[in-house]
């Protein structure tokens, strides 16, 4: 079989072979498939290979195996690019599992049908495995043959061939996931039990070593299994790694990383047919310009690094990953990325919208009534929900990063410190980020970033819009704040409805367990409003809120009682 290649080089190159034989059985209940995308889809999602072995007899086993593999190969590539591989596969297989169970219940001929599933994704310089049942995944590397999966069968002499887990057996899918680094000349093998149940591992390894071509290796394994007396279907998929892409950024951004930084531009100057009209933001590391496309007159925002950041590979990589991440957030609540054709420098373009940030509106003296804050809160929570569905955490939600356009549309800005949870390596902890007054108490103590912290920041944002204050007071950088009870917003704005105050106090509660768990839950509370109000949060006893003050009061009361007792004793003489 010809190696799978990508038009851009260097890139991931693979050679793939597969074979599936029916054997003595009348019907082959195994099913295998491989999806080999190209271009950006190859970089973002990788190559997916899968083997399934259906159970249930007659039509049902084959139906379950084929539907599961076909569904996985199709739907995995429809999941957001920002999702990690395990989350994408788990989401797809959960839906496939529901379908298999439902079909078995509707059709008597399919009763009891289920299937094993073993899948490998090779993306960039890493591989990912997903497995349920007793089909297997092996890896041959430098002559070492290792099994990457554990069979899900009952550990009992009389039940050693009975599956304990499979697609279609239980409403809850419990997949095993694994991952690791790829190396050139790695060989992956996916097989049904019709192969490994007949051939010992040592013989399987010998066949793989004796057949350098993956198609020949797959055919040899299945034929040998039947020749050795196998009574089951025999299926094998062999995937060889021929070449790997460079480490680091995805290939689509790698070429841009070598571009020079544009010089600092002034209004009227031009770059790549883009005329600078205004400097929108001049920060320590980044620059934002409003530009006009000379060709079509479209106004855009150009984001780049300060010229002084030349040579800073980390800053360049961060800008490129910000662009990559922003491309995947397709929503009216965010500026949209605009392709920059033939760019000569390191920058990216996004749509420009007339208007101002919420903070700029506050500074200008604009007053936000409660009803307007609720409307903006609903839009903000919808925007945050969009990010969280993509497994992206913004990490710097605040009034400065929320834009209200002249068209009345709220848009969330600046994904510069955002992280994609699916992009983090195992054990990787991103550095701190955020604006102190908007950061949850746990973040000040070094907590790992989580989606819930965006919801806390959204609560502080709405609180600040209403009161121009912060629930725990303004917190300066490097300050070690102490969190007591949040100040009730009605202290500053008595006309705020009680139900809205309760929502805000829940959003910014000191303890994470007392806050909203999801953006959808927060959104629902705002949309229901006074029709189904939240109960007022209970205030903690003084002893928990301020132990030191409690002991001072106790000591003072004790001292007064002792003095009164002494006076009573002496006065009675």
Kindly tell me if the per-residue pLDDT of 250 is higher than 60.
Answer: no
Kindly tell me if the per-residue pLDDT of 540 is higher than 80.
Answer: no
- 315 or 351: which carries more pLDDT confidence? 351
* Per-residue pLDDT at 154: 84
- Nearest-5° angle of CA 41, CA 35, CA 56? 140
Answer yes or no: same fold for 13-243 and 355-540: no
Q: Mean pLDDT, to the nearest integer, of 238-267?
A: 78
Phi, psi of 236 (to 5 degrees): -145, 140
* Per-residue pLDDT at 456: 97
Report whether the peptide linkage leading into residue 526 is cis, meaning its omega lies within 30 degrees of zero.
no
pLDDT per position as a tens digit, 64-82 = 999 999 999 999 999 888 7
Q: Work out the mean pLDDT of the chain and round it to a whole number.
A: 88
- CATH fold for domain 13-243: Phosphatase 2c; domain 1 (3.60.40)
Kindly tell me if the per-residue pLDDT of 553 is higher than 60.
Answer: yes
- 557 or 274: which carries more pLDDT confidence? 274
CA distance linking residue 376 with residue 498, whole number of Å: 18
Of the listed ranges 41-45, 169-173, 550-554, the least confidently predicted one is: 550-554
Q: Which DSSP symbol is given to 163? A: B
Q: Mean pLDDT, to the nearest integer, of 473-481?
A: 85
Kindly tell me if the per-residue pLDDT of 239 is higher than 50.
Answer: yes
For tokens 């392709």, the residue is: 339
pLDDT per position as a tens digit, 131-147 = 999 999 999 999 999 99
pLDDT per position as a tens digit, 280-299 = 999 899 999 999 999 999 99
pLDDT per position as a tens digit, 120-134 = 999 988 999 999 999
pLDDT per position as a tens digit, 209-221 = 999 999 999 999 9
Q: Mean pLDDT, to the nearest integer, of 517-526?
A: 96
User: 355-540 architecture in CATH?
Assistant: Orthogonal Bundle (1.10)
Secondary structure (DSSP) of 436-504: GGGS-HHHHTTPPP-THHHHHHHHHHHHHHHHSS-TT----TT------SPPPGGGT-TTS-HHHHHHH
* Per-residue pLDDT at 5: 46
Q: Mean pLDDT, to the nearest integer, of 137-163?
A: 85
* Per-residue pLDDT at 558: 76
The domains of the chain are located at: 13-243, 251-351, 355-540
Kindly tell me if the per-residue pLDDT of 93 is higher than 70.
Answer: yes
- CATH fold for domain 251-351: Phosphorylase Kinase; domain 1 (3.30.200)
Q: Is the pTM of this model over 0.75?
A: no
Phi, psi of 443 (to 5 degrees): -65, -35
pLDDT per position as a tens digit, 369-408 = 999 999 999 999 999 999 999 999 999 999 999 999 999 9
* Per-residue pLDDT at 157: 59
Q: What percent of the chain has pLDDT over 90?
A: 64
Closest CA to 361 of 406, 414, 397, 394: 406
Are 122 and 14 within 8 A, CB to CB? yes
CA distance linking residue 438 with residue 475, whole number of Å: 9
Of the listed ranges 45-54, 65-74, 439-448, the least confidently predicted one is: 439-448
Secondary structure class of 545 (helix, strand, coil): helix
For tokens 């397709």, the residue is: 330
* Per-residue pLDDT at 248: 47
* Per-residue pLDDT at 162: 82
CA distance linking residue 52 with residue 134, whole number of Å: 9
């Amino acid at each position: 079989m010809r190696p799978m290649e990508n038009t851009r080089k260097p890139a991931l190159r693979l050679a793939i072979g597969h074979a599936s034989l029916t054997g003595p059985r009348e019907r082959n209940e195994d099913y295998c498939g491989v999806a080999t995308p190209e271009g950006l889809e190859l970089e973002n999602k990788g190559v997916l290979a899968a083997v399934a072995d259906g159970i249930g007899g007659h039509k049902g086993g084959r139906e379950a195996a084929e539907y599961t593999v076909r569904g996985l190969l199709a739907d995995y590539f429809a999941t957001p690019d920002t999702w990690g591989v395990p989350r994408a596969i788990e989401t797809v297989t959960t839906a496939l599992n529901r379908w298999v169970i439902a079909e078995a219940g509707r059709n008597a001929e399919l009763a009891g049908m289920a299937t094993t599933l073993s899948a490998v994704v090779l993306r960039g310089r890493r591989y990912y495995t997903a497995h349920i049942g007793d089909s297997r995944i092996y890896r041959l590397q430098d002559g070492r043959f290792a099994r990457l999966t554990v069979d899900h069968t009952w550990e009992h002499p009389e039940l050693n061939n009975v599956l304990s887990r499979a697609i279609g057996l239980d409403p809850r899918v419990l997949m095993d996931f694994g991952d690791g680094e790829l190396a050139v000349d790695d060989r992956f093998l996916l097989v049904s039990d019709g192969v490994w149940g007949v051939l010992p591992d040592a013989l399987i390894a010998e066949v793989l070593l004796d057949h350098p071509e993956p198609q020949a290796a797959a055919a040899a394994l299945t034929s040998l299994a039947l020749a050795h007396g196998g009574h089951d279907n025999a299926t094998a998929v062999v995937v060889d790694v021929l070449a790997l892409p460079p480490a680091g950024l995805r290939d689509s951004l790698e070429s841009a990383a070598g571009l020079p930084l544009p010089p600092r531009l002034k209004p009227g100057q031009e770059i790549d047919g883009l005329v600078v009209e205004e400097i929108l933001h001049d920060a320590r590391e980044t620059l934002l310009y409003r530009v006009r496309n000379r060709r079509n007159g479209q106004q855009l925002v150009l984001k780049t690094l300060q010229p002084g950041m030349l040579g800073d590979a980390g800053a360049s990589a961060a800008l490129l990953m910000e662009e990559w991440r922003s491309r995947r957030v397709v929503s009216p609540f965010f500026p949209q990325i605009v392709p920059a054709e033939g760019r000569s420098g390191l920058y990216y373009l996004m749509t420009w919208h007339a208007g101002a940030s919420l903070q700029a509106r506050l500074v200008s003296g604009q007053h936000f009534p409660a009803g307007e804050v609720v409307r903006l809160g609903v839009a903000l929570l919808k925007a945050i929900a969009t990010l969280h569905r993509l497994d992206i955490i913004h990490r710097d939600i605040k009034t400065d990063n929320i834009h209200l356009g002249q068209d009345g549309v709220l848009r969330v800005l600046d994904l510069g410190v955002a992280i994609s949870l699916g992009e983090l390596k195992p054990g990787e902890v991103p550095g701190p980020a955020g604006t102190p007054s908007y950061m949850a108490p746990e973040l000040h103590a070094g907590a790992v970033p989580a989606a819930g912290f965006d919801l806390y920041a959204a609560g502080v944002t709405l609180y600040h819009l209403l009161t121009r204050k912060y629930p725990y007071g303004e917190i300066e950088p490097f300050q070690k704040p102490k969190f007591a009870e949040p100040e009730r917003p009605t202290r500053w704005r008595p006309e705020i409805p009680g139900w809205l105050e309760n929502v805000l106090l829940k959003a910014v509660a000191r303890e994470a367990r007392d806050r909203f768990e999801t953006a959808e839950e927060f959104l629902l509370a705002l949309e229901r409003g006074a029709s189904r109000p939240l109960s007022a949060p209970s205030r903690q006893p003084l002893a928990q809120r301020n132990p030191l003050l409690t002991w001072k009061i106790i000591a003072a009361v004790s001292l007064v009682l002792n003095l009164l007792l002494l006076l009573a004793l002496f006065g009675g003489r």
